[in-house]
Structure 1
Amino acid sequence: MFCTIRRKSKALTVAAALAVTALAAVACGSGDSGGPGSSGPTAGAEQTELRYQGSVGQVTPAELAADLGYLGPITLKWIGNTISGPQDIQAATTGDTDFGGAFNGAIIKLVAAGAPIKAVVSYYGVDKDSYIGYFVPANSSISSARDLIGKKIGMNTLGAHLEAILDAYLKKQGLSAEDVKKVVPTVVPPVNTEQSLRAGQIDVAALGGILRDKALERGGLRQLFSDYDLFGTFSAGSLVLRNDFIKKNPTTAKQFVEGVAKALEWAKTAPRAEVVARFEQIIDKRGRQEDKSAIKFWKSYGVAGQGGRIQDADFSRWIDFLRERGELKKDVSLTDLFTNEFNPFRAATGS
């Protein structure tokens, strides 16, 4: 199953969702540090069990940090999976989880809508090995941005990384705002995107990482463009914590960010075969009945900054982009959006 959403209705849907989320955030702001349903701390103690959402067949940096022993007394409680970054950070905002991760542009929109969250460490990005390619069948007549008018572009969610990259490509190739609106982003679960493309249900498939390499191994696809083509190496998404959580649990926040930062560096420096083997062990141990065959294609988390340190450009690029699109109704500052105060690698990069 997949869902086609035209640009105009999508914008209204996103705006409504952000408004609801902002109201929910206010309602949750005075709760205990663990949020609704938390098994959080007793009075005077900090919360050490953190609820989160995972990804099927993948190992997140936080899960890797826990397995490597980098989180100290912190334990992670998996409550389910998600394919949507915006949904993940909304869950963190409303207190259904304790942390979440999303494309930085989605974080900007949520903070601008009043969500009391802050990005604390990068967790995914783009490099020569880890990138999102926009693919068509090898025999497709599509060869340019203009050919995409009226076509369905399959992606995991709307209002996030993949749609922003698509729009940046269309604009760079000279399409007018009216023409851009005629290109049709279409929501498809990542595990079904390749199949949907080959079956002709969509015209272009946005594929990244393991799913991209697995599809290319089968052949018959041609890359139209990629986010790496457009912007080179950059950190694209961050993990967020609620402001009230940081205030009430400063030691936990510091330990969590340090652990994730160290896990990111371990994944960069350890032999790839060792990292993949570790991922396979983690997937086996957590017992979620997942297919781990695709994990062998893993190459990189793509995070640019050392230890996931957030750079100004990781957010300022998307502030400008959203403002040009008319999607940023309220100005936000970089200090509203992120902090590196808990990252042990901040001094090494001059922060």
Structure 2
Amino acid sequence: MSLSRRTLAAGIGGAVVAAGLCATGIATAREDRGRSGRRPQTRTIRYQGSAGAVTPLELAAGLGYLEDVRLEWIGNSTSGPQDIQATVTGDTDIGGAFNGAIIRLIAAGAPITSLYSYYGVDAEVWSGYYVREDSPVRTVRDLADRTVGANTLGGQAEDVLRMRLRSAGLPAGRARSAQIVVVPPVSAEQALRSGQLDVAVLGGILRDAALERGGIRPVFNDYQVLGAFSCGCQVMRDGFVHDNPDTVRAVVGAVARALAWSQSRPAPQVIDRFRRILKARKRAEDASALQFWKGYGVAGRGGVIDARELSVWRDRLVDDGIVDRRDAPLDRLYTNRFNPYSGAA
């Protein structure tokens, strides 16, 4: 297995160039103008899903909150950065990713805005950084120069790691010496046990199953670093929001209600709804992992975005010289004006 590092810059650059060339054209081609000269607002939202899982957007549809807005599933996302890049280029109308990845893309010129939080970390929903029992890694500082398996570059696992290394007193250069290696989550445990990785980031059912098998131990987890904290948002293109404000308000309001519904119900009741949604959409999916669902981890009621949920990552990216603060002002990164649980609505 070849464990080589790629940079996110190429993907971001390609997305931004593609956005400049075709995002507006795609949106215009899809929506015909009416006799009055105003473009009719679309009532169809194209999106990517996740196999065997139910996103807050899909939950909103399953609960009937979307009313006459129709979801068009175009496939499953391979990662958060890929999902929001698909939104930038106009292949989808909505996408979601870790907030640090969103900031990188916006700072690079992508015309997107975060509309609501859709996943996070809490006492029940978190990921740990695990090593083998016999590993020489004993403290956070020992993670410098190690290979760390994560699902994508420029994602939450990488930024949390850099943040934790800096808080342990390592200078920026040493904090960046830990090498992120892209590994599918289902393969991370085996890569760790076979010695191909020094560290593996494990969460959810994959973490629980690995711990049950034994032979690994944690160095730290992201809940210890962040506490209860929303970590990712769903975004739309600015042009799409401008042209379809009523549809956007309907979508954000519906998802906000769905998130609030999931936050106020016991997990078994939410899981039962998930099973019905998976059965109804007929994608031949394995629903076995649903039994381990413990929540979305969203901190704000209804997915309302707290400025700190973006500023903490922006400040880290600025300190490391990855992003210029002038390219990522907070009021450019997100809005709560469509969320009925926000005073800005």
TM-score (norm 2): 0.92
RMSD: 2.0
The one-letter amino acid of 1:267's match is: S
CA distance in 2, matches of 1:94, 1:252: 20
Structure 1 partner of 2:334? 338
Structure 1 partner of 2:58? 63
Structure 1 partner of 2:268? 273
Q: Note the 1:193-342 alignment, pairs <5 A.
A: 193-329=188-324, 331=326, 332-342=328-338
Structure 2 partner of 1:4? 4
| Contact 1:53 1:100 survives alignment (8 Å) | yes
| Contact 1:145 1:175 survives alignment (8 Å) | no
Structure 1 partner of 2:159? 164
Q: CA deviation at 1:59?
A: 1.2
Residues 1:193 and 1:57: Cα distance change in structure 2 (over 3 Å): farther
Q: Note the 1:139-178 alignment, pairs <5 A.
A: 139-178=134-173
The one-letter amino acid of 1:193's match is: A
| Contact 1:116 1:243 survives alignment (8 Å) | yes
Identity among equivalent pairs (%): 48
| Contact 2:83 2:96 survives alignment (8 Å) | yes
Q: CA deviation at 1:267?
A: 1.0
| Contact 2:140 2:220 survives alignment (8 Å) | no
Q: CA deviation at 1:81?
A: 1.4
Q: CA deviation at 1:227?
A: 1.2
Structure 2 partner of 1:26? 20
Residues 1:41 and 1:277: Cα distance change in structure 2 (over 3 Å): farther
CA distance in 1, matches of 2:247, 2:18: 24
| Contact 1:2 1:187 survives alignment (8 Å) | no
The one-letter amino acid of 2:219's match is: L
3-state SS, counterpart of residue 30 of structure 1: helix
CA distance in 2, matches of 1:288, 1:29: 29
| Contact 1:258 1:343 survives alignment (8 Å) | yes
Q: CA deviation at 1:175?
A: 2.1
Residues 1:298 and 1:218: Cα distance change in structure 2 (over 3 Å): farther
Residues 1:268 and 1:219: Cα distance change in structure 2 (over 3 Å): farther
Q: CA deviation at 1:94?
A: 0.5
Does residue 103 of structure 2 align to residue 108 of structure 1? yes
CA distance in 2, matches of 1:215, 1:41: 52
| Contact 2:318 2:325 survives alignment (8 Å) | no
Gaps of 5+ in 1: none
Give deviations 1:63-109, integer Å, cap 9, x for gaps: 11111111111121111112311111111000011100011111111
CA distance in 2, matches of 1:173, 1:213: 27
The one-letter amino acid of 1:53's match is: Q
TM-score (norm 1): 0.91
| Contact 1:83 1:189 survives alignment (8 Å) | no
Residues 1:177 and 1:335: Cα distance change in structure 2 (over 3 Å): closer
Q: CA deviation at 1:18?
A: 2.0
Q: Note the 1:87-126 alignment, pairs <5 A.
A: 87-126=82-121
